[in-house]
Each structure stands twice: as C-alpha cells, then as structure tokens.
Amino acid sequence: MKQTSFSVIVPTFNVQDYVIKALDSIFVQDYENVEVIIVDDASMDNTVQKIENYIALQKSHNQHIKFIKCEVNRGLSTVREEGLKYAQNEWILFLDSDDWYNDGLFKELNRVIQNNSDINIIEFNFDFINEYTQRKKIAYSDRGVSSIRKSAEENIMTAVAVWNKCFRKSFLENINLPPIPRTVLDDAPFTICALLAAKYFYWLDFIGYSYIERNNSLSKQASMYFRVFHSIVFMEKELKRLKIYDKTQFEVISICLLSYNLHRYSDSLEYKNFYNECRKFFHSFDLEKNIKTPITYNRKIYKRVLLYPYWLFKLRVKISKSIRRLRKTVLNFLKKLVKNHIKSSQ
C-alpha cells in the first residue's frame, strides 16, 4: 500500500522532562514518511538542549526533523501556526510535547486516507492517563460521530482538541483562518471552524494518542475561562466570513463550551463573575424551539443557569462534585477489597 506523507508539529515550552518521550513516540513507529517540525516557544529550562542532543543522535531521521527556536514567548497557537509554515507534507498532525502517540497510528491513518480520498479531517480515539496514579481511561468506546454538533454535545473537551485529529493541509490553506490571538483558547476556535468548514469528519476507532492529565497544565488554570467568551466572538466572526454560520448550531456549541467551563472551574475566585456573564450570554439565546435533540448534561447546566440564582447553582455543582468523589472513593475501596480477597483465597 502507498504511504501517505505526514507532518507532525510539536510545540515545546519548558518540557525538559517530557519532550523526549513525545519525540520517541513518533520515530519508534514502523513508518517512514513522517517529518517532524519542533517549534520551541522560548523555553527557560533545558528543553532546547535536550532536543538538540536528541536530534544529533537521530542520524537516520535527521533529514526528517526541523527545529525552530523562537526568541520570545509567543503562545501555543502562534507556535503551531509557525510550524505549519514549514510543513511540506499533505497531512498535518499536532502533538503536545508532554503527551505521546501510540504505536500504529500512522499506519491506521494511512489506511483511512488511501480508502477515502475525499476526507479533509480524521479524528482518532485516545486515552487519558493521570500523571500521578497512571490510571488509564479510554475517551470513547463506541462513538461513530459524523458531525461537530453531535461531537460537541457528547464531549466538548475532546471535540475541540487539535491533538487527536489529522488535517489535510490544502484544506487548512483554503479556509485560511487568521492568526489566533492569545486572548482566546488555543484549540477551540481553530478546531471548531475547521470542523464546521469540513461539515463531516472521519472517525477512526483507534487509540492513537495518550493524553496526560497534569495538575499544573494550562487547560486546568481557572484564569483561562474568560478566554472562552473571546473564543466565541472570534468563532462567530470567522464562521460568518466562511459563510457557514448557522445560528442554532453555533449557540449549541457555545453552550457546550461555557457549560464545560462552568463545571470545571467552580472553585475559582472569579467564578461568580463568570457565572453572571454566562447567564447574560444564555439569555441572549432562543434555543427551546430550535433544538430537536437534547444537549444532555450541557443542556441541564444551561437550564440551571437560566433558572437558579448564583448561590443555588454553585451549591448544585459542589454537591455533584462531592457525589462524584464519593462514588470514586467507594469504587476504589471495593476494588481493593476484591483484590485482597482474591490474594487471600489463593
């Protein structure tokens, strides 16, 4: 079978402890036509030195590696865009430098591309790995998603992620998204605009990516959530420019983004202000007559924001999180009991 050529863009910033594992996950795969573009965003630790040493040792892969060093910190989105300028191949992937690819990903992507000449985006499955417990959790066991709206309703965090997708370069060049400012989220505006422009994407049921959950990761910082509003404004403008704006669809995706952040950052000092802004935003929507399918969990939050005062909404969120923690503790306790019982009976 013919081998498709891939370009993998790896942005780095202060990842001296993780970057080598990320790069290894590309080169250990039994697949030749892959170029790697590493763009360092002015790291202040030993990241650059580690990468340079790694490249020097990769004699057989030297011609497939490009290393760009930024003199000043420019932000993740800008660094990804910089890497895209250097990409020579038709299919583009983005690998976060503290995660890694699972073996066989490029072969699976190649199989899909060779059998589906008209697709522009492929999304693949992945697993979450907690940095401290090393516990794995598969993102989806059976999905079959074909549209961004359905994807957003199921799990907005993974729908907007850029790292579990493979993009056709010519397609990205055609939609010509402008540079994404640092005031918006890194993944959501780029991914949602691309997916809506593509209309449909191919879902590859293969666990090709390992996403590491770290307590200090940027996506867990509470100060991020006001960037959601800037992202929504940016997306609306771009979707109208691309002439693919659908009001109901856009409002559904906006609700999913805001609901996710409302639940995620409930312990922040700025939470009350964020809640009030979301409430104003939700009141501007008129979805009840237009939504034909439920938004499940996100719709519940949407309705609660419209109906509840702040103190009651926050109480519901706290109770929900407490129940979830208790359930997790009980399950872990029961698992230990079962393990101990099996050991004692042997």
Q: List 213's β-bridge partners, or say none.
A: 130
**Domains defined for the chain, CATH in brackets:** 6-220 (3.90.550.10), 227-324 (no CATH)
pLDDT of residue 172: 94
pLDDT category, 70, cuts 50, 70, 90?
very high
Residue 240: is its pLDDT beyond 90? yes
Q: Tell me how far apart the alpha carbons of residues 237 and 235 are, in angstroms, rounded to a whole number.
A: 5
Left (φ > 0), alpha (ψ -120 to 50) or beta: where does 43 sit? Answer: beta
Whole-number pLDDT of residue 62:
64
Question: Residue 205: which pLDDT band, with cuts at 50, 70 and 90?
Answer: confident
List 209's β-bridge partners, or say none.
101, 126
Q: Is 93 helix (H, G, I), strand (E, B) or coil?
A: strand
pLDDT tens, position by position, 223-239: 566 788 899 999 999 99
| Per-residue confidence band for 222, with pLDDT thresholds at 50, 70 and 90 | very low
Q: Which residue has the higher pLDDT, 297 or 171?
A: 171
> When comparing pLDDT for 324 and 65, which is higher?
65
Say what the pLDDT of residue 171 is. 94
Q: What pLDDT is stored for residue 218 in this prediction?
A: 47
Q: Exposed, middle or buried by CB within 10 Å (0-12, 13-18, 19+), for 187?
A: buried
The mean per-residue pLDDT over the stretch 64-69 comes to 94
The pLDDT value recorded for residue 141 is 43
Q: How much is the pLDDT for 340?
A: 83
Instruction: Please give the residue that has the higher pLDDT: either 76 or 217.
Output: 76
Highest mean pLDDT among 42-51, 127-136, 257-266: 42-51
Pairing of strands 65-69, 34-40: parallel
Q: Is residue 178 left, alpha or beta, with left meaning phi > 0 and alpha meaning psi from -120 to 50?
A: beta
Going by pLDDT thresholds of 50, 70 and 90, the confidence category of residue 154 is low
The answer to whether 36 touches 85, Cβ cutoff 8 Å, is no
Query: What is the identity of the amino acid at 185?
Result: L
Please tell me the distance from the alpha carbon of residue 249 to that of residue 291, in angstroms, as a whole number: 9
The overall average pLDDT reported for the chain is: 83
Q: Has residue 316 got a pLDDT over 90?
A: no
Say yes or no to pLDDT of 133 above 60.
no
With a cut of 80, say whether residue 2 has pLDDT above it.
Answer: yes
Tens of pLDDT, residues 256-297: 888 888 877 666 667 888 888 888 888 887 665 454 444 456
pLDDT at 336 over 80: yes
Task: Give me the sign of the Cα torsion angle 305, 316, 214, 138.
Answer: negative
On the CB side of 50, CA atoms within 13 Å amount to 20
Confidence band, pLDDT 50/70/90 cuts, at residue 153: low
Q: What is the secondary structure of 166-210 as a DSSP string?
A: EEEHHHHHHH-PPPPPTTS-SSHHHHHHHHHHHS--EEEEEEEEE
**Structure pTM?**
0.84
Encoded tokens for 288: 């009840």
